[in-house]
Amino acid sequence: MLGLGFVKAFLVRGAEKHVLVDSGTAGNSMKIVAQLECGGVNPLDIWLIVVTHAHADHTGSLADVVQATGAKVAVHRLEAEHVRTGMSPPAAESRLSRIMFRPSTKPRAVCVEPDILVDDELDLRPYGVAGKAIWTPGHTRGSVSVFLESGEAIVGDLVLPRYMAFGPPAIAFWAASREDSIASIRKVLDLRPSIILTSHGGPYRPEVLAKLVRC
Ligand SMILES: [Zn+2]
């Protein structure tokens, strides 16, 4: 886990190559590089950055981190245009959340041309890591999670803490689709993860999330 204030990015270590999941808010790249180096990781050994979704607290430093690492960028096909243009994807279903989280008409992040477009799944082994990125829509339509063979699931904002930064897990009321969120949480749980790592708050045990999506 790379702590970046109210949001996290994640380093997934391989034997020689490594994968980053997300890149924090604008101005976080030095913090990310410092934490990599502190952990004995050469930034140039990051081969891939998986973007869980294109909100600015996950992509704000993407261009700088790409420059520092030379890594390729993988994003879901439905979110590619948002990474390309720096525009935030909508994440609002209810009327209240639409008022609170009105989509911006201006770019919120620096534009980056993605290298790899994820559909249902992306094997991470070519990038040095035993795991895969899987499509888990809900928070946004093009959200992805990373599932590692060692058991960890990194789910971005698919699950958020009830009180914004802490507390029990909840499906955010500003999810693009609550129905998709529930289906995606079930999809993650079906992989039998040992722990669920979230970008804000958490981590959560799978049995706690199972209660959240129980019919
Ligand atoms: Zn988000």
pLDDT value of position 99: 59
Ligand 1 centroid, distance to 51 Cα (angstroms): 11
Ligand 1 centroid, distance to 74 Cα (angstroms): 17
Q: For Cα atoms 46, 158, 75, give the angle at the middle one, nearest 5 degrees.
A: 40
Report how far residue 66's alpha carbon sits from residue 59's, in angstroms, rounded to the nearest whole number.
Answer: 11
Query: Cα 151 to chain center, whole Å?
Result: 17
Ligand 1 centroid, distance to 56 Cα (angstroms): 8
Please list the rounded mean pLDDT of every run of 10 residues in the chain (215 residues): 94 97 95 96 98 93 96 97 85 57 62 96 98 96 97 96 84 82 97 97 95 85
Listed residues: CB within 5 A of ion ligand 1: 55, 157
Ligand 1 centroid, distance to 199 Cα (angstroms): 9
Report how far residue 202's alpha carbon sits from residue 215's, in angstroms, rounded to the nearest whole number.
Answer: 23
pLDDT value of position 106: 66
Q: On the CB side of 55, how many CA atoms lie within 13 Å of its CA?
A: 22
Ligand 1 centroid, distance to 43 Cα (angstroms): 25
Please state the CATH superfamily assignment of the domain spanning residues 2-102+120-212 in this structure.
Ribonuclease Z/Hydroxyacylglutathione hydrolase-like (3.60.15.10)
CB 187 within 8 A of CB 159: no
pLDDT value of position 176: 86
Ligand 1 centroid, distance to 25 Cα (angstroms): 11
Ligand 1 centroid, distance to 203 Cα (angstroms): 16
Ligand 1 centroid, distance to 21 Cα (angstroms): 13
CB atoms within 10 A of CB 98: 14
- Phi, then psi, of 144 in degrees rounded to 5: -125, 155
Ligand 1 centroid, distance to 14 Cα (angstroms): 27
Q: Residue 195 is which amino acid? A: I
Ligand 1 centroid, distance to 145 Cα (angstroms): 12
164 SS3 class? coil
> What does the block give as tokens for 186?
């079930």
pLDDT value of position 183: 96
> What does the block give as tokens for 107?
């770019």
pLDDT value of position 111: 85
Ligand 1 centroid, distance to 16 Cα (angstroms): 30
> What does the block give as tokens for 180?
């998709």
